[in-house]
């Protein structure tokens, strides 16, 4: 069985503030972090090379 995923999600917690975060990565090298306490997404740069 072959799957084609466009996006991957991860979950983590900031060690300083203990705020939970969701991280998303796409196959187009775009990434973002959603902070649950603020309810906002922010873009992060991703350089894989």
Specify the pLDDT at position 30.
84
CA distance 49 to 40: 28
Assess if residue 43 is contained within a domain: no
Range of the domain at 32: 7-38
Instruction: Tell me the pTM.
Output: 0.70
Specify the pLDDT at position 20.
96
Specify the pLDDT at position 43.
93
Assess if residue 48 is contained within a domain: no
Assess if residue 45 is contained within a domain: no
Assess if residue 47 is contained within a domain: no
CA distance 18 to 3: 34
Specify the pLDDT at position 6.
84
Specify the pLDDT at position 17.
93
Q: How many domains does the chain have?
A: 1
For the stretch 1-49, pLDDT in tens is: 566 678 889 999 999 999 999 999 887 778 899 999 999 999 988 776 5
Assess if residue 24 is contained within a domain: yes
């Amino acid at each position: 069985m072959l799957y084609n995923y466009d996006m991957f999600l991860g979950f983590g917690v900031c060690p300083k503030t203990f705020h939970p975060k969701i991280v998303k990565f796409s196959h187009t090298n775009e990434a973002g972090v959603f902070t649950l306490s603020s309810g906002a997404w922010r873009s992060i740069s991703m350089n894989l090379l």
